[in-house]
Structure 1
Amino acid sequence: MKLLTSLLKISVKLTILGCVIGSLALATAYFYYAPKLPDVETLRDVQLQTPLRIYSEDNKLVSEFGEKRRTPISFNQIPQNYINALLAAEDRNFFDHIGIDIKGLFRAVFQLASTGQIQSGGSTITMQVAKNYFLTRERSFVRKFNEILLSLRIEQELTKEEIFELYINKIYLGHRSYGIQAAANIYYGKDIDQLSLAQVAMIAGLPKAPSAYNPITNPSRALERRNWILKRMHSLSFINDEDYETAKNEPVSAEYHGTQIELYAPYVAEMVRNELYQYFNDSLYTNGFRVYTTLNSTMQAAANQAVEDGLIAYTERHGYFGPEKPAATTSLTEENITATLEQQRTYGSLQPALVISTDEQQAQLYIKDHGPATLTWENMQWARQYKGPNRRGSKPTQAADIFSPGDLIRVRELSENSWRLSQIPRVEGALSALSPQNGAIRALVGGFNFNHNKFNRATQAKRQPGSNLKPFIYASALEQGYTPATLINDAPVVFHDNNLESNWRPQNYSKKFYGPTRLREALYKSRNLVSIRILRSIGIDTATEFLTRFGFDKDRLPHNLSLSLGSADMTPLELVTGYAGLANQGFKVSPYFIARIEDSDGNILYQAQPVTVCPECTYIADKSAPPRDFKQIPLQTEITGNAITPTQAETQNSTQPASEQLPTESPQTGQQVTTFPVAERIMQPQTAYMIYNIMQDVIARGTGRRALVLQRSDLAGKTGTTNDQKDAWFSGFNKDIVATAWIGFDQPSTLGRSEFGGTAALPVWIEFMEAALTNSPDQPIAQPDGLVSIRIDPKTGLLAYPGQEDAIFEIFPEASIPTEAAHNPALTNTTGTTQTEEIF
């Protein structure tokens, strides 16, 4: 008995000694490791890695760049069902404990003592936050001890709601999704607050092992995990019997949902990414920037469709290239059909399809992502064999003349269950549209399809504009004293140049000559020889100086008379920017596409302040506005330096599209003031109005007559076609929108004898403008002071004689009104006078 008592006393003493030693060890460890722990307060301002998102001006998602898909949300945005599901799955006592689970920790200690390893950490949500934000995933006592200390500190510094919010926004949940909002988007294509009870339970089951319990790749194990969580929720009285039974019986509905792009504008998205990457480098993809472009979603969608329709129409006019891939020897089993089509990409509206069978004048197809379909003769009889830009084969008489069973082809859906044979165009195109008031890019398409070819022809393809450049030569002449009625001789001319192999004999396209021609008529009928004579008269230096005012690169303007025929090299975006100066009545603007940049919290980091047309405005710099150069945005992880609060943003009209911001009236002087720089005038208002009025005739009675279908009186424009029909252009505008369409091959070659600006490019421009101007009434430009309209003789440009029936009205500067009248042939004793302008 004494021995037992002695042993008991020794055991008690040893236990006490062990506790003292343990406590001293823990205290020593605490004082050693505690000073080295990171500051928990930084969690309040943590910047989670969030992808770059690009939007249109009207908040349509254009693109997303970044490996981690994350959309942080606040605690009050988390549905209660998800909170309960996560508590049931991970930490039922989260809202009650001090940051650590004592029972779980003892269990971990026992495992460490018995096996030498920590198999389960007994981690709480708070401990997971400590590990995810501050520590590594190493399984060791030191790391676990630091995790415990950090958890205790986190609980002291942050509320339970803040801790929970940090956790659900940080965790990885599979398929590149980080945080529950991104996971809901990826697995169900919805926000977390739109999910059913069964779906939120499925999301709540992912943190433990995203790959093992993934409902897409491992639905059976995911279902088991989900139903276990539902059972736990039921046992904890988070849900009632009915909810539990309903959710438990709900089938697995998860499937992969990529980023939900709302507006297809990949060429602009890449322009944004490239522009910003030059400064931010890889941090661009993690800092959570939201970039709002100047794109108008209606106009961009119309531009996409117009370019695609125009290129497909061109390719159908020139014949069928044949099947994309001829029939293989493989049999047309369902498995082979599916495997073949899965390897093919869809480009725009062109769906890949396999020909299953042909029967006289119809064919049975299997279309990717659609299934079986019938192709009627009406929708494939166009497919005469392509033999060159000017030649096609004979008309097909049956479907077998076009393709065979097993051939891979392309089709477009015209309406439900109605398909048309098509093909990927070899020709390319581009369309650029700007606001002429400040250069905001409203729509931009750089080719048939970005996924097919990423080369951006709108900004990178330097091509000759041909007659599309003539309005600038004619406007320069008007600045030099010419009038729309000035006569210029449309007659043959030969130029001798030692730098050329032979003499240059320019011609009109018709190869005809029309003699003395009024300047107005020469432009709207696009007479080459008149343009050459005008340039020779005003001088190449004068014209070049005038062109550079509109932003054209002087080094790419040829210093010879070929400039009058558009032999300069320029991109569609450069050309449309020049046309903006014609559309806005003589002001220089520069194109821009980034309207503002926000951080992930909506603070404005950068706001564009483009030069803006406002003749009566005074520019007053707004010192409180965000920086005008995005390079002033700080590069540190926590982006706060130049941010302004949403309240400040509201006072600056920052949420209004930059292209629509208007000047305000100064309360002191009544004069209009603007915080945007005022655009520089580069052309006299009288000149601007005259060239606009002449270019209206291009549509009313010239080479752009097809645009009359738009039934508008405020449109003006110009066609352009280069030698051998290698490039086709149309540029046109009203006061609100200016657009340029281009069609051509990447490796310049003829489009065909029948292809011109008016046949290839103009239909694209018309389709775009029809949508862009919907619900926009005619907006004629007011005639400025200093111009008068008088009746003249259309043949001589002189004043009309009294009673002249074929007289027309023409616009003149007051100082250039003709002083002589045309000869009246009815007056036999009157000697006709000759216009004093030289007919050269």
Structure 2
Amino acid sequence: MRFLKFLFWSCFALFCAFSLSLSGAFLYLSPNLPSVDSLRSIQLQIPLRVYSTDNKLIAEFGEMRRSPVRFEEIPSDFIQALLAAEDDNFANHYGVDVTGLLRAAAQLLKSGHIQTGGSTITMQVAKNFFLTSERSFSRKINEILLALQIERELTKNEILELYVNKIYLGHRAYGIEAAAQVYYGKSIGELTLAQKAMIAGLPKAPSAFNPLVNPARSKERRDWILGRMYRLGSIDEASYQQAIAEPETARYHGAAPELDAAYIAEMARAEMVGRFGSAAYTDGFRVYTTVSSERQQAANLALFEGLIEYDQRHGYRGPEARLGEKSRDAWLEELTQHRALSGLLPAIVSQVDADGIKVLLRDGSEHAVSWESMKWARPFLATNSLGPRPQRPAEVVARGDLIRIRLDGESARFSQVPVAQAALVSLNPIDGSIEALAGGFSFGQSKYNRAIQAKRQPGSSFKPFVYSAALDAGYTAATLVNDSPIVFVEEGMDRIWRPKNDNNTFLGPIRMREALYKSRNLVSIRLLQSIGIDYTIDYISRFGFRPQDLPRNLSLALGTATLTPMEIATGWTVFANGGYKIEPYLIERVEDREGQQIFAANPTRVPDAPNAATVSTSEVEPAEADTAPRIAEQIIDERTAYIMTSMLQDVITRGTGRRALALGRHDLAGKTGTTNDSIDSWFSGYNADLVTTVWAGFDQPQSLGRHEYGGTVALPIWMKYMGSVLKDLPEHMPAEPAGLLTLRVDPQSGRAATPSTPNAYFELFKSEDSPPSMSELEPGAPVPGSPLPASEAAPIDLF
């Protein structure tokens, strides 16, 4: 009895000592413990996601890949797998499992170092949200105290929801939904039991049990968890046997975009960081852009095919590397160093036959490439010089060559990465929304966004702005201008400028309409000389161009300004929308992590336009909001815009843009542009629904080739895009405004024709600018429409 009493009082004393120690620790540590209430409003880091207007994922930005799920969305068999792996007594304890702690203490006493922490899921929530990963007794006590508080204030379901969304599971995946996407490319609810068990095994050691790094060890832990589930009665034997027999199929699934629009994604990212700072990467914003997936895909394909066609016209530059006779493993190792660029896959020639070649891809597969797809590959000698046509594959490639191919269904086509670049911008002329944008051949090849960053000379695609200035200065489409040689000598210096037309011919007096669609340089210069440089620069600046980008000399008429494709496209929208200035915009709306809209665009828009989009006007802050619709400013006479459209339609029907007739539409207007030595190639064009500008050239300016122009490089890209996006839409011309007259005109004099005038044609005029007939003119009076003499010009700065 004495011994029993001693044992009883000893145990009681130990219990009291433990209780006093725990109470003392609580009293000492509790003032420094964080409030558990904060868990209810915890903000998990969620990456920035960018979408198209039709909800296709474009990109994801952020260090942590996370997609939080609610408790109701967690599959019950995953919960059972997680509890079997981490805390099978979770439903019964109050935050601390004494048995687990005693087991951990016994292991510490036996081995001399910490092996397991004995932590429950609740304790792990406390550590993950409030504490560090330091292994110390003070941190463990804090963990225990916090776990007890968490259990008092949160339900078991709330604790599990916090846990499964916070835990790190390898490869930037935080939370079970992100892990399911990373390892299997599916949502957590779509996984098999075996796959769920694999993910449930990751929290213990995401690196050691990672199926991508250590598949054997991962499968071993998966099977152990399945066995635990079976022994705990969570699954029956049939389910257990089926899951055990399932092979491990995990492989890395990146945040694969549903829409290839990397240049758009980067523009949206930069705008969001500018608006929200670093919180843009962590606060779970969902950004919806104005870009539609259909139009963006059409832009990507048009630019890809246009550059490939141009590139192949100028021959084959040879393989990217010559590896020679090496082992298959050495070839595969080399292929891992090269990435695919816009669908052009790196490949190594493994066999050369008489009728084609065989190539090895980085995934180990082999493909046959037909000789038919290689016949274009004449050796590149110089921009304007090619070698002889090859007669057999061996004249093009050798075994071990690193080349590029394009998979087209089951067939592979011989290709190469273009050196030339291009950009495409497509805008809605009513409100400025960016419908599609491509800033180069491949974002992986170059992140330089030529659509908004490359300032290049637009050449003749700039002339419509000069012609518009002339129309608003009183000239008409029928005005005769002298297309004849002209020489300028800078006063006091020996510098001489002899501008010329592209083909070095001269047509004499020519109507402004004809001069535009034939792109006569000397007519543009004489127009600018006549209306004045100061007036013209002031007028053209209304279109959104910065005056400092516009040269203050006569070369302005030939498009020597330095402008981006976005700026050119924006300027062209004025002709398409009836004279209004709009501002391009990309982000349509932004939603927070809860799906609440916190920003919606309120762009300037053309008034009373039937195809103007209707969007909400809520903003992040009331100060930023302008709840009333913002009406675009009218910057040129709507009649001028309509006459310019009519003149630019002639560029397509009878001028330098005649190739566009192949689209079979009558509502298109546009203009080519080619700079000196064919360094830059442009085409801008539109109907009432869409304005699109295409530029092509080299990043380091050099000639595209002796016979390359706006109509051979940029225009085909424009046609591929516009033909695709407009094919199912009805023709749509800008509406004709009031105040216009259509009169028969004498083509020789530009005067109103009499009924007997031969070859008379109909021309558009503003009512106040209509030309008189001969009978209305007094003797000696100037005749509207007569050629402009060079002598009328004031002294100018030539260079």
TM-score normalized by the length of structure 1: 0.89
Contact residue 771 and residue 785 of structure 2 kept, 8 A? no
Q: Separation in 1 of the partners of 2:627 and 2:21?
A: 70
Aligned residue pairs total 784
Structure 1: state its 5+ residue gaps. 633-641, 643-672, 824-830
Q: 1:581 aligns with which of 574, 586, 605?
A: 574
Asked if 1:734 corresponds to 2:687, the answer is yes
Deviations 1:449-475 (A, max 9, x none): 111122111111111000010001101
Contact residue 357 and residue 405 of structure 1 kept, 8 A? yes
Contact residue 725 and residue 756 of structure 1 kept, 8 A? yes
Structure-2 change in CA distance of 1:136 and 1:836 (3 Å): closer
Task: Quote how far apart the aligned CAs of 1:629 are.
Answer: 9.4
Q: Secondary structure at the match of 1:718?
A: strand
Deviations 1:632-652 (A, max 9, x none): 8xxxxxxxxx9xxxxxxxxxx
Contact residue 314 and residue 760 of structure 1 kept, 8 A? yes
Task: Quote how far apart the aligned CAs of 1:183 are.
Answer: 0.5
Q: Separation in 2 of the partners of 1:60 and 1:629?
A: 30
Task: Quote how far apart the aligned CAs of 1:135 are.
Answer: 1.1
Contact residue 434 and residue 443 of structure 1 kept, 8 A? yes
Asked if 1:228 corresponds to 2:227, the answer is no
Q: Separation in 1 of the partners of 2:775 and 2:63?
A: 75
Asked if 1:158 corresponds to 2:151, the answer is no
Q: Secondary structure at the match of 1:94?
A: coil
Q: 1:719 aligns with which of 672, 676, 684?
A: 672
Q: Which residue of 2 aligns with 1:519?
A: 512
Q: Separation in 2 of the partners of 1:176 and 1:793?
A: 74
Taking every aligned residue pair, what percent have the same amino acid on both sides?
Answer: 51
Task: Quote how far apart the aligned CAs of 1:374 are.
Answer: 2.6
Q: Which residue of 1 aligns with 2:771?
A: 818
Q: Separation in 2 of the partners of 1:22 and 1:628?
A: 55
Asked if 1:365 corresponds to 2:354, the answer is no
Where do 1:30-41 residues align within 5 Å?
Answer: 30-41=26-37
Q: Separation in 1 of the partners of 2:437 and 2:266?
A: 12
Q: 2:405 aligns with which of 407, 411, 432?
A: 411
Task: Quote how far apart the aligned CAs of 1:390 are.
Answer: 1.3
Q: What is the identity, as a one-letter code, of the residue corresponding to 2:165?
A: N
Task: Quote how far apart the aligned CAs of 1:586 are.
Answer: 0.9
Q: Which residue of 2 aligns with 1:168?
A: 164
Where do 1:667-746 residues align within 5 Å?
Answer: 675-746=628-699
Asked if 1:16 corresponds to 2:9, the answer is no
Q: Secondary structure at the match of 1:291?
A: strand
Of 292-301 and 813-822, the range deviating more from structure 2: 813-822
Q: Separation in 2 of the partners of 1:391 and 1:623?
A: 57
Contact residue 721 and residue 756 of structure 1 kept, 8 A? yes
Task: Quote how far apart the aligned CAs of 1:235 are.
Answer: 2.3
Q: Separation in 2 of the partners of 1:255 and 1:545?
A: 60
Contact residue 489 and residue 496 of structure 2 kept, 8 A? yes
Deviations 1:601-650 (A, max 9, x none): 22223222211111589x9x9998223799x8xxxxxxxxx9xxxxxxxx
Task: Quote how far apart the aligned CAs of 1:114 are.
Answer: 5.8
Task: Quote how far apart the aligned CAs of 1:743 are.
Answer: 0.7
Q: Which residue of 2 aligns with 1:543?
A: 536
TM-score normalized by the length of structure 2: 0.94
Q: Separation in 2 of the partners of 1:572 and 1:424?
A: 23
Q: What is the identity, as a one-letter code, of the residue corresponding to 1:838?
A: S
Q: Separation in 2 of the partners of 1:252 and 1:54?
A: 32
Asked if 1:386 corresponds to 2:339, the answer is no
Q: Which residue of 1 aligns with 2:785?
A: 837
Structure 2: state its 5+ residue gaps. 789-799
Structure-2 change in CA distance of 1:322 and 1:139 (3 Å): closer
Q: Separation in 2 of the partners of 1:596 and 1:195?
A: 33
Of 706-715 and 350-359, the range deviating more from structure 2: 350-359
Deviations 1:535-558 (A, max 9, x none): 111111111111111110101101
Q: Which residue of 2 aligns with 1:657?
A: none
Deviations 1:384-428 (A, max 9, x none): 1112111111222222222222211112234422x3222111111
Q: Which residue of 1 aligns with 2:138?
A: 142
Q: Which residue of 1 aligns with 2:371?
A: 377
Structure-2 change in CA distance of 1:279 and 1:210 (3 Å): same
Structure-2 change in CA distance of 1:622 and 1:738 (3 Å): closer
Contact residue 361 and residue 397 of structure 1 kept, 8 A? no
Q: Secondary structure at the match of 2:437?
A: strand
Deviations 1:219-244 (A, max 9, x none): 11211211121122222222222222
Q: Secondary structure at the match of 1:178?
A: coil
Q: 1:565 aligns with which of 558, 565, 573?
A: 558
Q: Separation in 1 of the partners of 2:459 and 2:51?
A: 35
Q: Which residue of 2 aligns with 1:55?
A: 51
Q: Separation in 1 of the partners of 2:528 and 2:488?
A: 14
Q: Which residue of 1 aligns with 2:747?
A: 794
Structure-2 change in CA distance of 1:574 and 1:427 (3 Å): same
Contact residue 800 and residue 822 of structure 1 kept, 8 A? no
Q: Separation in 2 of the partners of 1:16 and 1:158?
A: 33
Asked if 1:777 corresponds to 2:730, the answer is yes
Q: Which residue of 1 aligns with 2:792?
A: none
Q: Secondary structure at the match of 1:207?
A: coil
Structure-2 change in CA distance of 1:119 and 1:399 (3 Å): closer
Q: Which residue of 1 aligns with 2:314?
A: 318
Q: Separation in 2 of the partners of 1:206 and 1:278?
A: 37
Where do 1:266-285 residues align within 5 Å?
Answer: 266-278=262-274, 280-285=276-281
Contact residue 378 and residue 387 of structure 2 kept, 8 A? yes
Q: Separation in 2 of the partners of 1:238 and 1:179?
A: 23
Q: 1:509 aligns with which of 502, 526, 548?
A: 502
Task: Quote how far apart the aligned CAs of 1:70 are.
Answer: 0.9
Q: Separation in 1 of the partners of 2:431 and 2:698?
A: 31
Q: What is the identity, as a one-letter code, of the residue corresponding to 2:458?
A: P
Task: Quote how far apart the aligned CAs of 1:140 are.
Answer: 2.5
Root-mean-square deviation (CA, aligned residues, Å) is: 2.6
